[in-house]
Chain A
Amino acid sequence: MKKRTFKEWLKQWDQGEFDLDRGEAEALHYRPETQEKDDDSWAHRPVRGLREGEYTLFVKVYPFAALLLASVMIFFFMRTVAELPPFASACTPANQSEVIRRYIENGLTETGAVNIVAGVILDYRAFDTLGESHVLFTAATAVFILMLAGEAEPEDKRTRRILEADTVLSVTARVLFPLIVMFGFYVILCGHLGPGGGFSGGAVIGGGLILCSMAFGPERISRLINMKTYRGVVLCALLFYSIAKCYSFYCGAHHLETVFSPGTPGMIFSAGLILPLNIAVGLVVACTMYGFYSLFTRGTV
Chain B
Amino acid sequence: MLQLLWESRIQAVAVLLFAVGFTTLLLHRNLIKKVIGLNIMDTAAYLFLTSIGYIPGRLSPIVADGVTDMEAYVNPLPAGLVLTGIVVSVSVTAVMLSLTLRLYRRYHTLNLDEIYRLVYAEQEDV
Contact = CB atoms under 8 A, between A and B. Distances in A.
- A contacts B directly in the complex (CB < 8 Å)? yes
B7 A101 contact: no
Interface residues of B, number: 74
A84 interface: yes
Contact of B4 (A32, A69, A83, A107): A83
Q: Is the interface of A mostly helix, strand, loop or mixed?
A: helix
B83 A87 contact: no
Interface string B4-32: 11011111100110111011101111000
B117 A42 contact: no
A295 B11 CA distance: 38
A101 B70 contact: yes
Given A32-B123, A138-B91, A70 B108 contact: no
B63 A108 contact: yes
Nearest to A125: B80
Interface string B85-113: 01110111011011101100111100001
B73 A139 contact: no
A49 B122 CA distance: 9
B121 to A, nearest CB: 4
Interface stretch (A92-100, A180-188, A220-228, A249-257): A92-100
Interface string A1-26: 00000000000000000000001100
Contacts, number: 213
A142 B29 contact: no
Nearest to A133: B87
Nearest to A69: B23
Nearest to B116: A50
Interface in A113-143: 114-117, 120-121, 125, 128-129, 132-133, 135-136, 138-140, 142-143
Interface of B: 1, 4-5, 7-12, 15-16, 18-20, 22-24, 26-29, 51-56, 58, 60-63, 66, 68-73, 75-80, 83-84, 86-88, 90-92, 94-95, 97-99, 101-102, 105-108, 113, 116-124
22 contacts: A27-B121, A32-B123, A39-B108, A40-B108, A47-B117, A47-B118, A50-B117, A66-B27, A66-B28, A69-B23, A78-B5, A81-B12, A81-B15, A88-B54, A95-B52, A104-B70, A129-B84, A132-B87, A146-B95, A146-B98, A146-B102, A151-B105
